[in-house]
Amino acid sequence: MTMQVGLKVWRFNSRTGERELQEFEIAAPEEATLLDCLDIVKDQHDGTLAYRKSCRMMICGSCGMRMDGAAVLACKMRMYDIAQAGHVPVISAMGNLPIVKDLVVDMDPFWEKFNSVNPYLQPGYEEPPDGKENLITQERMNVIHKEALCINCGCCVSECNAMEADPLFTGPQALAKAMRFVGDPRDGQKLARLEKLNGEHGIWECTRCYFCTERCPKGVDPRDAIAKLGAESMKEGIDRDMGAKHAKWFVTSARTTGWLRETELVPKTQGVVAAIKQTRFALDLALKGKVPPPFPPHVAKDVKESRRLYDLVRDQGRDGYAGIVQGERALGRLSHGHGVGDQTLEEIYDRPGAYHRPFIADEEADA
Amino acid sequence: MLDMRHLGAERIIDRLPGSRELSMTFAGVDPIYDPVPVRPGAHYHMGGVETGNDGETELTGLYAAGEVACVSVHGANRLGGNSLMETITFGRRAGRAAAEWALANTTVDLPESAKADAERELKALLDVSSGERPWQIRNDLGTSMLENFGVFRREEQMTRQVEIIAEVRERYERGVVVEDKGDVFNSDLTQAIELGNMIDLAACMLQAGVARKESRGAHARPYDYPDRDDENFMKHSISRWAGDGPELSWKEVRYTKFDPMERKY
């Protein structure tokens, strides 16, 4: 069965700098993905269209591009529903990277940042005594399960708002990759890595807009990775950045009063001098009732609960990235609108319309 | 249909998350609840450019690594991890050796004519203004190769495919139209060049496939030669391009630590 698919593609000619929105109407098989549709356009309609592709099965990371302004992997994007709805999506190159031609971007800045986090294991462990291997439990590797799924497609970088503001920002992909090594129990350079990541253009530049996590086609959750790096940095005492100070003050105020002590937030984060400069602003806020007066401190009735929570996190050793990792399995969260794993095998086989139970020759004998 | 339901949700999520993602994205099927429709596909190229242990090839200065290379560690079987060995181990060795060679040899003696020939070929390809687009030929090549040189191979189908390849080559050589005449990321041109290479490669595969009268690894001839024949075919097939067609020769298999044996599982 074929379907009619309409596409509007932003063409770009790097020689002349011209941009043009070109519309195509094609016939494609019903199971076609966006990449299949682009192949049909290139083969049968306009051979000059340029885009990257390779594996066609979401593992090589070549075909990152934008559809209706949001980064997607073209090979993962099934077009049936879109075509049936009569929608004609706009296809354009990824953001935050220079365009080479049409949908092809220059990935060099991406790879530079990727390389800047030294994306290789730096073994620091002792050689195993009898020349055998060092065994690591699955549980300890689960910590970086999501980060290890990254295929370097660049979709997160394309969407990153912080990078739009500061093109030198290390960015979600490189930072997720950094977490992949910081969280690896075999890596011996954790502290050196964290030190560097706390520097200029590092983790604290992230604005937490969550676009990277939202658009990642593989479930890597780069923003989560950045949060883990921040938490682990603070646990290791690397807290000189304003971002770290800011976060620490939230914890301190919650522990001491159960409230956010906003009046002290600015001096604790930006320092006393910066705070004095903002006195006027603070007074205005206070007069309008936007911030409570610092004295006497306003202590919450159930502050003991918040203190207990604080102690619990410490006692369980969850004050670093461990507090953010919950044995998560990114791909495990994929579901088709129903809970996963809450049915027995018998229930699965007996569902109405289910494919019949397979015949296994020796099953009876085994039972 | 591939039924994985008996494995249970936990094991599927834990051990087969990638396969589950593929099934859900491309077939709309969650393997926890339903069997997955499957079909043969080209997953990995065994064989390739013959290399030594450092990725070096017959041509001085040309190194090959990864799926394009054949260090001949695994023979004709696609075992789990083939590609890891080719990339992680031999990719590293090839990269290192190639870099060392490049640093030690800053200029390469190439006959002037080689460059002129390549330029002329490119120009000829770009100058074609009427004729077939490459995709039609590529599709016909792919469909016929899957049918006649797919999972199970029959002598008469392979022989027929040799003729089909000759026809495909004739169509290609009559001239295919490359619409993109530019010099920036011109994948229309590279795809047309690759099509020519694919036709050559198909001819090499067919010649070696017909000549190998046995079943070994991925080369399965269940109808006429269902068994492995170590006496006659414990050897590598080597194809060289000789003017207008492939030339097949054989090379001894070198083994050291492990004796080759039939796979019985």
pLDDT per residue as tens digits for the range A171-230 = 999 999 999 999 998 899 999 999 999 999 999 999 999 999 999 999 899 999 999 999
Same domain, B100 and B150: no
Give the CATH number, domain containing residue B156. 1.20.58.100
**Is B184 within 8 Å of A100 when comparing Cβ atoms?**
yes
Q: How far is A163 from chain B (nearest CA, A)?
A: 26
**Domain boundary residue among A235, A266, A289?**
A235
Q: How far apart are CA B52 and CA B66, in angstroms?
A: 13
A112 and A79 housed in the same domain: no
Give the list of residues 6+ apart from residue A171 with CB closer than 8 angstroms, or none.
A96, A113, A156, A157, A160, A162, A163
**Is B242 in the same domain as B125?**
yes
**Would A294 be classed as within a structural domain?**
yes
CB contact under 8 A, A334 and B22: no
Other residues' Cβ atoms within 10 Å of the Cβ of residue A136: 12
Q: Is residue B258 part of a domain?
A: no
pLDDT at A327 (0 to 100): 54
Buried b (16+ CB within 10 A) or exposed e, A91-115: bbbbbbbebbbbbbbebebbeebbe
- What is the distance between the alpha carbons of residues A141 and A138, in angstroms, rounded to a whole number? 5
Residue A336 has a pLDDT of: 41
SS (H, E, C) chain A: CEEEEEEEEEEEECCCCEEEEEEEEEEEECCCEHHHHHHHHHHHHCCCCCCCCCCCCCCCCCCEEEECCEEEEHHHCECHHHHHCCCCCEEECCCCCCEEECCEECCHHHHHHHHHCCCCCCECCCCCCCCCCCCCCHHHHHCCCCHHHCCCCCHHHHHCHHHHHCCCCCHHHHHHHHHHHHCCCCECCHHHHHHHHCCCCCHHHCCCCCHHHHHCCCCCCHHHHHHHHHHHHHHCCCCCCHHHHHHHHHHHHHHHCCCCCHHHHHHHHHCHHHHHHCHHHHHHHHHCCCCCCCCCCCCCCCHHHHHHHHHHHHHCCCCCHHHCCCCCCCHHHCCCCCCCCCCCHHHHHCCCCCCCCCCCCCHHHHC
In which domain, by residue range, is A52 found?
2-105
On chain B, the residues whose CB falls within 8 A of the CB of A334 are 20-21, 24, 30
Which residue type occupies B103? Answer: L
What is the average pLDDT across B70-89? 84
Residue B191, pLDDT above cutoff 90: yes
The token duo for A34 is 């966006």
Shared domain for A92 and A149, answered yes or no, is no
Take residue B204 and report the two structure tokens written for it: 């090499």
- Last residue of one domain, picked from the residues A216, A235, A254: A235
How high is the mean pLDDT of chain B? 92
- In this structure, are A208 and A270 located in the same domain? no
Residues B72 and B171 in one domain: no
Does a structural domain hold residue A352?
no
Task: State the residue range of the domain holding B71.
Answer: 49-104
Q: For A82-106, how does the pLDDT look when each residue is reduced to its tens digit (9 = 90+)?
A: 999 999 999 999 999 999 999 999 9
Question: Does residue A115 share a domain with residue A212?
Answer: yes
Report the DSSP pairing between strands B49-50 and A90-92: unpaired
- How far is B89 from chain A, CA to nearest CA, in Å? 15
- Tell me whether residue B244 is in a domain: yes
Q: What is the pLDDT of residue A307?
A: 93
Take residue B77 and report the two structure tokens written for it.
Answer: 């079987």
Inter-chain CB proximity B8 and A345 less than 8 Å = yes
Chain B interface disruption, residue of A146, A331, A347, most B CBs within 10 A: A331
From the candidates B4, B15, B187, B188, which should be mutated to test the interface with A, based on the most A CB atoms within 10 A?
B187
The reported pLDDT for the residue numbered A363 is 61
- Residue B71's SS3 state is coil
pLDDT digits (tens, 9 = 90+) for B9-24: 888 887 888 888 899 8
Q: Work out how many CB contacts closer than 8 A connect A with B.
A: 91
Same domain, B93 and B206: no
Q: Which candidate from B6, B13, B35 shows the least CB-CB separation from A340? A: B13
Strand partners, A66: A71, A92
Same domain, B88 and B178: no
Report the pLDDT value the prediction gives residue A367, as an integer from 0 to 100: 45
> For residues B244 and B253, is the Cβ–Cβ distance under 8 A?
no
Answer whether residue A161 is part of any domain: yes
Do B81 and B139 lie in a common domain? no
Residues B63 and B168 in one domain: no
Helices B187-211, B155-173: crossing angle, 10 deg rounding: 150
**Contact list, B26 vs chain A (CB under 8 Å):** 31, 57, 78
* Of the residues A285, A301, A316, the one at which a domain ends: A316
Helix axes A242-256, A222-235, angle to 10 degrees: 70
Could B182 and A58 be called an inter-chain contact, meaning their C-beta atoms sit closer than 8 Å?
A: no
pLDDT of residue A177: 98
Q: Which of B104, B121, B139 is the C-terminal boundary of a domain?
A: B104
* 56-115 of A, contacting B, C-beta below 8 A: 57-59, 76, 78, 100-102, 104
Helix (H, G, I), strand (E, B) or coil at B195: helix
Q: What's the pLDDT band for B242 if we cut at 50, 70, 90?
A: very high
Domain contains B233: yes
Q: Is residue A312 part of a domain?
A: yes
Q: Rounded to whole angstroms, how far apart are CA atoms B52 and B68? A: 13
CA distances from A136 to A182, A282, A295, B17, B42 (A): 15, 52, 52, 20, 34
Does the pLDDT value for residue B3 go beyond 70?
yes
User: So what's the pLDDT on residue A7?
Assistant: 98
Q: What is the least distance, in Å, from the CA of A48 to any CA of chain B?
A: 4
One domain for residues B235 and B148: yes
Q: Does one domain contain both A114 and A230?
A: yes
Write out residues in chain A with pLDDT < 50, as ranges. 335-338, 366-367
* Same domain flag for B130 and B241: yes
pLDDT of residue A90: 98
Identify the pLDDT of residue A330: 52
Contact B184 A42 (CB under 8 A): no
The verdict on A47 and A19 lying in the same domain is yes
Q: In 10 A of CB A219, how many CB atoms?
A: 19
- Tokens read off for A228: 């883990």
Number of domains in chain B: 2
Q: Does the residue A348 lie in any domain?
A: no
Total domain count, chain A: 3
| B57 or A332, higher pLDDT | B57
Interval B131-159: pLDDT, tens? 999 999 999 999 999 999 999 999 999 99
Structure tokens at A25: 């109407």
Q: What is the pLDDT of residue A337?
A: 41
Q: Chain A residue closest to B13 (CA)?
A: A332
- Residue A358 in domain: no
Q: Same domain for B164 and B65?
A: no
Record: contact B135-A331, CB cut-off 8 A: no
Indicate whether A208 and A268 sit together in one domain.
no
In a domain, B25, yes or no: no
Q: For A177-194, how does the pLDDT look when each residue is reduced to its tens digit (9 = 90+)?
A: 999 999 998 899 999 999
Instruction: Return the pLDDT at B89.
Output: 93
Residues B174, B131 share a domain: yes
**Contact status, residue A177 vs residue A147, Cβ threshold 8 Å:** yes
**Do A334 and B21 count as a contact with CB atoms less than 8 A apart?**
yes
How far does the CA of residue B188 sit from the closest CA of chain A (Å)? 6
pLDDT of residue B12: 86
B163 and B194 in a single domain? The answer is: yes
Sign of CA dihedral A166, A172, A173, A179: positive
Task: For chain B, say whether A16 makes contact (Cβ under 8 Å).
Answer: no
Q: Which of A336, A42, A206, A361 is nearest to B21 (CA)?
A: A336
Q: Show which residues on chain B lie within 8 Å of chain A, measured between beta carbons.
A: 1, 3, 5-6, 8-10, 13-14, 17-18, 20-22, 24-26, 30, 32-35, 133, 135, 177-180, 182, 184-188
A84 & A116 share domain: no
Whether A26 and A100 share a structural domain: yes
A66 vs A131: CA distance, rounded Å: 50
- Return d(Cα B107, Cα A122) in angstroms, integer: 36
B147 three-state secondary structure: helix
Give the integer Cα–Cα distance in Å for A217 and A55: 15
Nearest beta carbon to residue B13 from set A101, A329, A349:
A329
pLDDT of residue B255: 84
